Each structure stands twice: as structure tokens, then as C-alpha cells.
């Protein structure tokens, strides 16, 4: 009951926050030609929502990232709470792909489109390919991007086969790929659930994989990337060599 009330409270507060601050922020951002304010408000909203529902984030490996570079982040996916958790954990201006229905929500849809989120339809292959092309162009322009390479949420926590599109995007974008291991969100909000429960989530930012360091033809490079990211995401947080780090920055 407490978790349900907290979830309802956060939904009401964030909806009010969106409609009060969203339109003026979008107007100012449009006039200034900068998305920074919208990104900052989005990270603030994500952190507040997680804090208010009792979700705490323990982040490892942020020291692997260079503030002067852009990256393609590839987290595993078990819960609808994964996107705000990853956004809050990274604390960077990141765009991602989202279901087309999200872009039809008043104000929210305008905001995510403005900052470079890309709508995707998994049912339409041609449309999905076009979405990957759009996201690739954003990467090439220097924008950080988050993509869930499994394409959908895993019900049992095991890594699903990774889709090919994200690795085409990584190769064409020419930026380092960063596997991100997320653990605990399936307990906070299971697939099919509607109530967020309090809990601790671990987020491990792995060492970036330099696409330019891989040899071979285009398909070979993509398969090497796919294999390395699969290995990273399948490994336990405390046992995967590339991810191991003693530092934990708690965020909420």
C-alpha cells in the first residue's frame, strides 16, 4: 500500500512539474538554441522520482568516461524504470530511442523530441531502420546516446540476444561503446508491474570499447562489438574484469 501511494504521489508531482516547467523551458531553450536546460530539468525529474519512491542508485565506473567525448551507452533491460535510472546515474545529456506513443504525450513528447529522442516502432522494420539512421546522425553530431540493445525487457534477468541495429549505429557513429550493467531494477519495478518499490539499484559503467581499434570488414567489426557487449552484460557486476571498480557514488 505504501509503495502504491508513493508511486501515485510521484506520478502526480511529476505531471505537475512537466506542465508547469516544461513549456517555458522549451520556449527558452528554443530561443537560445540550446537543449541544456531541458536536459537538466529531465535529470532533476528522474532523480526526484527515484528518490521519492525510495529507489537508491549505487554507481560504479563513472571515472571511465571523458567529459570531452561522446559515447553510445548500451545497458541491459529488465524494467520500465531502467531509462530514468540510467539517466540519473550517468548525469549526462543523453538521448535515446522511445516508443512512438511517448511522443504523443503533450509537452513530454515535445520535450523529448526537442532534445533528440528518436521514436521507434518495433513492429515496422523499415521505420526501425530509419530510426537507427536518425540516431546515428545524432551520434555523429556529438550527442551522447543510450540504446537498449536487447530491444525489449527481459522477464528473468537473463540477457536476451542483442539486436544488430545498435552495432550498425555504433560503427557508423564512430564513437566508443560503453556497456552499462544495471542490476536490481527488476525488483523495483518488475515487467508488467505498475507500482515502484523501494530498493537499491547497482549501475556499473564499463570501460569504453573503442570501435576504431577493431579490425576486419564492416560485418566482422559489428560482430566483435556485439560479442564484447554481450559478455559485459552477461557478467556479474563484481566479477566482470572490465567493470570492476571499488568506487561507488550513491545517487537518488
Q: According to the model, what pLDDT value does residue 161 have?
A: 92
Q: According to the model, what pLDDT value does residue 238 have?
A: 45
Instruction: Find all residues with CB under 8 Å of 213, minimum gap 6, and list them.
Output: none
Show pLDDT as tens, one digit a residue, over the chain (252 residues). 778 888 887 888 888 878 887 788 888 878 877 777 888 888 888 899 999 999 999 999 999 999 889 999 999 999 999 999 999 999 888 888 888 888 888 888 878 887 788 888 777 777 777 888 888 888 888 889 999 999 888 888 889 999 888 888 888 888 899 999 999 999 999 887 888 999 999 999 999 999 887 777 778 888 889 999 999 998 764 444 444 444 456 665
Q: According to the model, what pLDDT value does residue 243 have?
A: 43
Q: Which residue's entry shows cell 505531471?
A: 15
Ordered DSSP codes for 86-98? HHHHH-S-EEEEE
Q: How many domains does the chain have?
A: 1
CA 202-203-206 angle, 5° bins: 135
Q: According to the model, what pLDDT value does residue 55 have?
A: 94
Among 90, 103, 99, 78, which Cα is nearest to 46's? 90
Q: According to the model, what pLDDT value does residue 8 have?
A: 84
Rounded Cα distance between 147 and 66, Å, is 19
Distance of CA 67 to the CA centre of its chain: 17
Residues in the chain: 252
Ordered DSSP codes for 12-70? HHHHHHHHHHHHHHHHHHHHHT--HHHHHHHHHHHHHHHHHTTEEEEEE-GGG--TTS-
Q: Are 180 and 240 in contact (CB under 8 A)?
A: no
Beta-ladder partners of 181: 204
Q: In what order do the strands lie in the sheet with 94-99?
A: 118-120, 94-99, 144-146, 72-75, 177-183, 199-205, 55-60, 249-251
Q: According to the model, what pLDDT value does residue 53 have?
A: 92
Parent domain of 204: 2-251
Among 228, 152, 147, 179, which Cα is nearest to 64's? 179
Q: According to the model, what pLDDT value does residue 30 have?
A: 80
Which CATH number does the domain housing residue 208 bear? 3.40.1130
Tell me which H or E stretch contains 200: strand 199-205
Amino acid at each position: 500500500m505504501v509503495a502504491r501511494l508513493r508511486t501515485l504521489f510521484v506520478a502526480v508531482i511529476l505531471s505537475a512539474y512537466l506542465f508547469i516547467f516544461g513549456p517555458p523551458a522549451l520556449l527558452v531553450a528554443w530561443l537560445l538554441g540550446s537543449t541544456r536546460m531541458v536536459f537538466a530539468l529531465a535529470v532533476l525529474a528522474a532523480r526526484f522520482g527515484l528518490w521519492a519512491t525510495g529507489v537508491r542508485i549505487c554507481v560504479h565506473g563513472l571515472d571511465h568516461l571523458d567529459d570531452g567525448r561522446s559515447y553510445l551507452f548500451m545497458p541491459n533491460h529488465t524494467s520500465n524504470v531502467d531509462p530514468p535510472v540510467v539517466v540519473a546515474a550517468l548525469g549526462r545529456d543523453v538521448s535515446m530511442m522511445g516508443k512512438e506513443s511517448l511522443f504523443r504525450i503533450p509537452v513530454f513528447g515535445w520535450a523529448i523530441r526537442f532534445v533528440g529522442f528518436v521514436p521507434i516502432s518495433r513492429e515496422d522494420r523499415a521505420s526501425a531502420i530509419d530510426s537507427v539512421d536518425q540516431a546515428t546522425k545524432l551520434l555523429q553530431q556529438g550527442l551522447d546516446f543510450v540504446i537498449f540493445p536487447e530491444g525489449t525487457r527481459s522477464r528473468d534477468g537473463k540477457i536476451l540476444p542483442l539486436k544488430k541495429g545498435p552495432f550498425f549505429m555504433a560503427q557508423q557513429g564512430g564513437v566508443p561503446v560503453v556497456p552499462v550493467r544495471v542490476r536490481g531494477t527488476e525488483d523495483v519495478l518488475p515487467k508488467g508491474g505498475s507500482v515502484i518499490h523501494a530498493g537499491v539499484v547497482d549501475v556499473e559503467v564499463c570501460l569504453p570499447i573503442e570501435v576504431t581499434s577493431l579490425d576486419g570488414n564492416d560485418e566482422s567489426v559489428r560482430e566483435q562489438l556485439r560479442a564484447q557487449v554481450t559478455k559485459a552484460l552477461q557478467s556479474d557486476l563484481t566479477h566482470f574484469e572490465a567493470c570492476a571498480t571499488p568506487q561507488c557514488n550513491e545517487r537518488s
